Amino acid sequence: MKTYIVGNWKMNLSVGESSIYLQKLLKRIKLAKGLEVAIAPSTIALQSLSVQLERSKSKIKLCAQNFYQKDYGAYTGEVSVMQLRGIVNYSIVGHSERRYIFGETNKDLRQKVAAAIRNNITPILCVGETENERSYGETKDVLRDEIFGALSEIDADDVKKVIIAYEPVWAISSTKDAKIASPDDIADSVKLIRSELKEIYGKEVSEEVPILYGGSVNPNNAGAYLTIPGVNGLLIGGSSLISDHFVDIIEIAKRVKS
């Protein structure tokens, strides 16, 4: 299975700044076999960065941060995943900031996962418990709900086109008092996610779905996270905006996974 390193820039960098930053990355990132690197800038920068990547013949991929689940129509202000075809290969779906700030529900996310698959864009479905849910011992139920909620209408063939990112909300750097998740915490949750997938789709499929970890990843902890059994890559927020850090994490991934 490939190793995925995905940088989520969130609502940062103007179009010009995004292009300058990508230029910097293009000079420094050396891809390796089996390593997939994607960046998720703001929607407004996707088109120009896709031209920049095409011109430079880079294999770095683009990832959307979000989209609306209908393909087209009277949805003022929205961008559909169909409109992103040919521009991105991936899209984050159900990031906790979408769930908690913008009120996205499992039903919305079920439609988004289906829309992404229908349009040949790989959804990176984020799941993860809040601090409160964790303290009440509800992690297992939350992961189960979020996975069933988003994937219940997806068949086994299509679920192989999905990537899951385990992002405990309490460990995300934008969260007040964010904490660092230990490799043991992550290993337990990744096991739970795989066993949920196994229950729905069987063992073989459950082993083919890549699972990424995200939440305060930086060059100091990336190596430990990438060696957790069952973790196939990282979804990186804050550190992906610091070119030295992002490049370091890619180098660490090459070393750890080679």
Q: Which residues are catalytic?
A: 95, 167
- Which residues from 235-254 bind ligand PGA, rule CB under 6 A? 235-239
Q: Which residues pair with 63 in a beta bridge?
A: 90
Quick one: 39 or 236, whose CB is closer to ligand PGA?
A: 236
Query: Nearest to residue 256, comparing CAs of 224, 234, 230?
Result: 224
- Total of residues contacting ligand PGA (CB under 6 A): 13
* 41 near ligand PGA, rule: CB under 6 A: no
Identify which of residues 233 and 238 has a Cβ nearer to ligand PGA in the complex.
238
Q: Which of 190, 192, 217, 231 binds ligand PGA (CB under 6 A)?
A: 217
Q: Are 207 and 1 in contact (CB under 8 A)?
A: no
**Is there binding between residue 214 and ligand PGA (CB under 6 A)?**
yes
Q: In sequence order, which residues have a C-beta less than 8 Å from that of residue 62 and are 6 or more positions away?
A: 38, 39, 40, 41, 46, 49, 50, 53, 87, 88, 89, 90
Q: Which of 113, 172, 190, 209 binds ligand PGA (CB under 6 A)?
A: 172
CB-closest chain residue to ligand PGA: 237
Check: CB of residue 166 under 8 Å from CB of residue 158: no
Q: Does 167 bind ligand PGA (CB under 6 A)?
A: yes
Q: Which of 18, 216, 221, 232 binds ligand PGA (CB under 6 A)?
A: 216
**Ramachandran region, residue 176 (left: φ > 0; alpha: ψ -120 to 50; beta: rest):** beta
Question: Closest by alpha carbon to 38, among 154, 129, 163?
Answer: 163
Interaction site with ligand PGA (CB under 6 A): 8, 167, 172-173, 214-217, 235-239
